[in-house]
Structure 1
Amino acid sequence: MSSEDNRPSTTASWRPHTDWRRFAVAAVAALALASGTVWTTTAAAIPVSFAVAGGTFQVSADHVAGTGAAQYAASVTDAAGKSHPVAVAAIGRARLTRLCQSSVAHTPFGDVTLTIRSGAEHPVEAEDLVIDLDRLDGDLTFGRVQLGRDASTLTAVDGAVGTAGAYGQQARTLVIDRMRLRAWSITAGTFSLRGAAMAISAGERPCF
């Protein structure tokens, strides 16, 4: 990625002597941490929670196929101690086609966007995937679904349970077409991307 590719059309919001390459490297590291996406090689039932960043990020996929799915309400807390209500979506095993994740950071130099895209020929493979959702849009199909089950008794995904007495639902299978979601965090036991591409660009350039 060359500096010319990311040079804005005007210099009003950019310092003339900024080393864009150094800034890009630092921003990639910061945004990757802030985005909440986790790649690990050690499987875990439900990964340990952490303080979320101060805003949501976007994730899209053309097609998602999951085995074992559970949903219930919860909350996450940011580093400032503020709680945010979320809909937890847990999937035991998932395949995601044409995944895109984007997060925007507001910096002294202007807005920058980190985008991660999976390879077109290789679906993303994930195990013990947990998404703290703010909003989800798409076409959803559940197989062997149970709606209204007590959230503390969910069994579809090991460790994915909510508060006793709260609403929960689970399904044997889950398919989502044209998924568009905003999330506070994503964690996984394993999250494998082949042929993926990561890029940082000036301005707001989200997945959707």
Structure 2
Amino acid sequence: MSHRAGKTRWRRFAAILVSGVAACAALGVAMGQGALAASFLISGQRFQVTADTLTARGFSVYGMVDVTRQGERVPVQVTGARHSTISGLCESVVVDVPVLGPQTLKLTGGRERPIEASSLFLDTTSQSAGQADFKGLDQGIAQGEITKGPISPDDRSSRFFDPNGFGQQAASVILTDVHVTAVALSAGTFNIPGLRVRIEQARHECS
């Protein structure tokens, strides 16, 4: 009798876990569609973002500090784009769950038709690309002087934003074979053809 009750509790636990992680996925999609404000405290959890190609018009790069709910400060490089198209997108985050072990929440899209985004901001701790082709590139510009690409209004008014810090901007850029480790992504609009969100047992990060 007690064994059967324990099994019932396990099933309830598993159901709560799956619904909770699915809710996190829905939250991410809502934010991507502009349904949530871009200003938020980060979780501090790193996630992987890869793309076959990312094309941006109005491109900016500047330094910032994000803050977690616990007050931890996380230095990041913010990459912004006024308008961008993304092909072959993959986002993944690994969550360590007691008893079940690591679970990977993965979002993919833009395989057959490219994703379109406006006012896109990626707060990253590392990023790389197999090839980067810039037009109208300015490196070493003061962050407060960036005009070709966007700066989040919340960032510009933040005490962590240094207007005299090192910045970069370009009229446009094409990036291929993109790999990013990020702590936050926000966008005014984020339209994803062929969106797929799933949970996978163990570690299956985007690569």
Fold in common (TM above 0.5)? yes
Task: Tell me, in whole angstroms, the C-alpha distance in 2 between the residues paired with 1:172 and 1:80.
Answer: 38
Q: How far 1:53 sits from its partner (Å)?
A: 1.1
Counterparts in 2 of 1:1-208, with a 5 A limit?
A: 18-19=10-11, 20-30=14-24, 33=27, 38-41=31-34, 48-108=38-98, 109-138=100-129, 139-160=131-152, 162-208=161-207
Q: Which amino acid aligns with 1:202?
A: Q
Do the aligned partners of residues 156 and 94 (structure 1) sit closer, same or farther apart at CA in structure 2, a change above 3 Å counting? same
Structure 2 runs not aligned, ≥5 long: 1-5
Q: What is the aligned residue count?
A: 190
Over 4 Å off, 4+ runs: none
1:37–1:86 Cα change, 3 Å: farther
| Percent of paired sites with the same residue | 25
Q: TM-score, normalised by structure 1?
A: 0.83
Q: TM (normalized to structure 2)?
A: 0.83
Report the CA distance shift for 1:205/1:32 in structure 2 as closer, same or farther (over 3 A).
Answer: farther
Where 1:38 maps in the other structure, the secondary structure is: helix
Paired residues of 1:64 and 1:95 also in contact (CA < 8 A)? yes
- 1:61-91 CA-to-partner distances (Å, cap 9, x unmatched) read 0011110001111110111100011011000
Aligned Cα RMSD in Å?
Answer: 2.2
Cα distance, 1:37–1:104 mapped onto 2, change above 3 Å: farther
Identify which range, 22-31 or 187-196, moves more after superposition. Answer: 22-31
Name the CA shift for 1:198/1:143 in 2 (closer, same or farther; >3 Å): same
1:36 shift after superposition: 9.1
Runs of 5+ consecutive residues of structure 1 not aligned to the other structure: 1-14
Q: C-alpha separation between the residues in 2 aligned to 1:193 and 1:60?
A: 15
1:130 to 1:99, Cα distance in 2 relative to 1, 3 A: same
